[in-house]
Structure 1
């Protein structure tokens, strides 16, 4: 009993000594955030938002207020094509607006310049689209009575380091193609050999973090149901795009780890803003048992 009274008294002391602390943020200058990509045989997509202070209270209204829907976005290719992107409403994005080309599609071997004019600022970025990777075979491996995982056999061209990015979409479950688990890899040391890359399942991100499209499926980590129909994209990237995506991916992974600390800023290939403009030479597959 005496020990219980001491512990209870100590808790009362802690409560009585606590006080509400208000943290004030230093002056913050918002930046234009670019999330843009163009892939071979596909249109260019650009989503524009404004960055927010770390302590911002995020909800759907706060996120919508960061969206920039009044910019002039121009796409120019290295063979002289140019187009001002059109703003579309697309419910599969959040906020549900995206700037998109309607005439120009990505072409392997070309460079693409993105120019954004908004609020008196000029923001620029360049990227290139490499040749798509040479995929010899995509494999489906049964891992239990009801689940599977997939892999792809790639052939290294032996001409230096190549960089890759894998995306998946489970038809009828996911709204968009999104990064697989461990999506970024290269062919260092392959020296013209054929090598195998396992493609692991990941959950499509929910913009507000309110729910998961995967929450009711009860699947083992990284695996698919053997009845799933899966869209698979494996893309070749230039080194600059690979570095930016690697940093963004690591930031996303570490944001859920309270013990992680990265003493550097996230890479960006956007001049006058932050974010990414990514060219992708893409090979695409539909997989079903």
Structure 2
């Protein structure tokens, strides 16, 4: 997942770039709203991991509405995740076909975004391929409906990961499929902090939750640009000289509605 990035600026300019608000927010079918807030790192800043805490935002007012009801999200701490603070809802539960509005108020600024939860697609089967005594590969099978679909596949290693991590090459437009009976091999997502981990196989003996998400086109475009950064060797935790796509008015990042199906498999 991403936490920080910087905005593109004129490389011939000596003007100090302004730090902007970064949003990573989502609401899943049958789940509550979650929002992570941080500040972008200006391209002219010498970033140091020891002062990473100053880029976290813990004092914003974050509101989610379903068009009828609205609730203010509450901040909670999630160990092992960067940033470790998540604004979380309690009362509004995600439903397919519903549109959700996110409003963020911080330091006199207001950010807004909308997202709709699409129809979910069920995982048909999960399979394991042994690479060696310590590494495993996961295979996933599902049926792609006739309607237009965008997907993101994410995994969570139970007892290790705090949240789901998008798999490598796991953000997909269904126009790339040659059949409705889709079978894919999953590569574990790369992590950068607190320790860089570029291992793309899953460890043997662990239990892994696999989530198949459906998402809107704007959410797909954001995550596809994020995925391309990873594949091009960029680290989203640290300054970059280009922009990811975004649906946030007044800020950067993503507010995404997900249809989702989750299955669990043990790495035997």
Question: Shorter-normalised TM-score: what interval?
Answer: 0.7 to 0.9
Does the residue aligned with 1:188 lie in a helix, a strand or coil?
helix
For residues 79-94 of structure 1, what are the structure 2 equivalents within 5 Å? 80-94=68-82
| Distance in 1 separating the partners of 2:189 and 2:179 | 30
| Distance in 2 separating the partners of 1:66 and 1:38 | 24
What is the number of residues matched between the two proteins?
252
1:30 is matched with: 19
2:226 is matched with: 248
Structure 2 residue 183 is matched with structure 1 residue 196: yes
Contact 1:158 1:191 in 2 (8 A): no
- Alignment RMSD, CA only? 2.6
Please list every run of at least 4 consecutive aligned residues from structure 1 whose deviation after the TM superposition is greater than 4 angstroms.
189-192
Deviation, 1:25, is 4.2
Per chain length, whose mean CA-contact separation is higher, i.e. which structure has more relative contact order (CA < 8 Å, sep 6+)?
2
Does the residue aligned with 2:44 lie in a helix, a strand or coil?
coil
| Distance in 1 separating the partners of 2:93 and 2:105 | 22
| Distance in 2 separating the partners of 1:265 and 1:234 | 26
Which of 52, 68, 78 is the aligned partner of 1:63? 52
Deviation, 1:24, is 8.7
Structure 2 residue 183 is matched with structure 1 residue 236: no
TM-score (norm 1): 0.78
Deviation, 1:175, is 3.2
| Distance in 2 separating the partners of 1:283 and 1:59 | 38
| Distance in 2 separating the partners of 1:119 and 1:253 | 35
| Distance in 2 separating the partners of 1:88 and 1:173 | 19
| Distance in 1 separating the partners of 2:242 and 2:108 | 29
1:124 is matched with: 112
Which of 149, 171, 179 is the aligned partner of 1:162? 149
Contact 1:174 1:204 in 2 (8 A): no
Which of 123, 140, 164 is the aligned partner of 1:135? 123
1:6 is matched with: none
Does the residue aligned with 2:218 lie in a helix, a strand or coil?
helix
| Distance in 2 separating the partners of 1:105 and 1:47 | 18
Deviation, 1:256, is 3.9
1:5 is matched with: none
Contact 2:41 2:47 in 1 (8 A): no
Contact 2:16 2:44 in 1 (8 A): no
Does the residue aligned with 1:105 lie in a helix, a strand or coil?
coil
**Any unmatched runs of 5+ in structure 2?**
1-11
1:182 is matched with: 169
| Distance in 2 separating the partners of 1:150 and 1:137 | 10
TM-score (norm 2): 0.84
